[in-house]
Structure 1
Amino acid sequence: MSIFYRLFIPDLFPQYDKAVYLDADTIICDDIANLYDTEIGENMFASCPDLSIRYMPLLQKYIKECQGILPAEKYINNGVIVFNMKAFRDKHFVDKFYYLMDKYHFDNVDPDQAYMNEICEDKIYHLPKEWDAMPNESIPEFENPKIV
């Protein structure tokens, strides 16, 4: 259940309009203020594409056929998030999340990430991959990662 906590950050901190969320297993290699200062416009949040899914045919099929996210390269990894907290609240993200959670009952590898991708699909700012250089044996290491 703890993986869903990040989805409630905008509602838990109504006094803030912007925030950065990082998974606990991250290493910061750059000034985090540079990430915070990223201009994401009216998008609900910013994250990096999930590069690992390119090497997981079953997950790519799920993303395309079940979620309808095309191309699958648009699918983000939510271990690093810049929240537009005001947009999350204004667009009633939590209500949509509860609705989908109640309507569809199925197990998933990354349910929190899947809901963020589904609900916000056209309102996601895609950060440069260096902001979430998740190790993967299928791709070469990044030269100058900002977050690993």
Structure 2
Amino acid sequence: MQTVLPPPAEFIPVALPLTEHSAPNAYASILSGLNNLLPGVKLALYMLHEGLPEETVTAGRRLFDGRHSQIHFVDVSEWMQVYNPTHLETTDRKTFYRLAVPTLFAQFQRLVYLTDDILLRACPSLLYYSIPATAQIGATRDLLLIPAQTNGFRLPQAIAGAPLLVDYHRGALGVLDSNNYFQNGVLVFNLAQISSAQAEECGQLCNTLFWMNDQDILNRIFFGKVHFIHQNWNVCWGPGCVEASEALPAEWKKIYDEGLSNPFAVHFTGFPKPWTGWDGPYTEDFRRLIADVMRAFA
């Protein structure tokens, strides 16, 4: 399978999923990072897709081919056809694109992966260098899922007969401590440390039924090999997040509240999104970025 060549040494590689529909918010996520670049930092952007209209590509080049960034469009169609992700009832195809990273970017040393609903408020280079050379992946804990460990929450009946969350984490994923289950909206892949067998497993598990789809797959493969980056790099914020945070144990609630007051990256989880009508802290910042992006489509 074709692999992508690394960028020049002075560029920080950052990958995001891209579809025609998601282009405005994906490009806004990138723009938020560019607006926070430290002096001398340059980004190499890799947009993972399965076919795009020319206007989406043209707008991306207009926005991001310049002095401080370059943009590349990486077609993941072959990988998706080979591994054929199934059980798409609760997600969409692009959520699986991050599982292709260890295969398609095998020649890279390291790569930052972001979802298309992230507002960066710090330079992506700080994220890129946030994990030690020995870690395989960098991520934040899924804080808002922590209360479900002890409140009797059960998974849907279709998932292994509705087990308790803790039992599911241990039995299906091998995550022996649910506090160390990680969220996949912001990831640092230390590709030099990831084996070809692990890359293959990312694909092979795509058509196995999991509750959190690709996030569960990554936790199953990389549990125990994760470096937990500062929680402020993935502050989940959206409908229901405040209510979920109220159920957190005091030590985790303090971490979440501190992150929300000064996030390095805001992750707009759930629905609706800022661009489909949801209002809250940081949403207007994201909508302004989308407005800037849309001028490139004119």
TM-score by length of 1: 0.85
1:99-138 equivalences in 2 (<5 Å): 99-101=204-206, 105-106=208-209, 108-135=210-237, 136-137=241-242, 138=244
For residue 5 of structure 1, give the secondary structure of its aligned residue in structure 2.
helix
Specify every segment of 5 or more residues in structure 2 that has no aligned partner in the other structure, as ranges.
1-92, 156-164, 246-255, 267-298
Query: What is the aligned partner in structure 2 of residue 94 from structure 1?
Result: 199
Query: What is the aligned partner in structure 2 of residue 144 from structure 1?
Result: 262
Q: Give yes or no for contact 1:10–1:86 (8 Å, CA) kept in 2.
A: no
Aligned equivalents of 2:192 and 2:109: distance in 1? 5
Aligned equivalents of 2:197 and 2:135: distance in 1? 14
Aligned equivalents of 2:189 and 2:105: distance in 1? 11
| Bigger Rg, which one | 2
Aligned equivalents of 1:92 and 1:43: distance in 2? 16
Higher relative contact order (CA 8 A, sep 6+): 1
Aligned residues: 144
1:21 is the counterpart of 2:117: no
Query: What is the aligned partner in structure 2 of residue 72 from structure 1?
Result: 178
Q: Percent identity at matched positions?
A: 26
Superposition deviation, residue 55 in structure 1: 2.9
Moved more, 135-144 or 118-127: 135-144
Superposition deviation, residue 130 in structure 1: 0.5
Which of 71, 75, 81 is the matching residue for 2:187?
Answer: 81
Aligned equivalents of 1:91 and 1:42: distance in 2? 16
Query: What is the aligned partner in structure 1 of residue 140 from structure 2?
Result: 48
For residue 211 of structure 2, give the secondary structure of its aligned residue in structure 1.
coil
Judging changes above 3 Å, is the alpha-carbon distance between structure 1 residues 51 and 12 closer, same or farther for their aligned structure 2 residues?
same
Aligned equivalents of 1:70 and 1:47: distance in 2? 17
Q: CA RMSD in A?
A: 2.0
TM-score by length of 2: 0.45
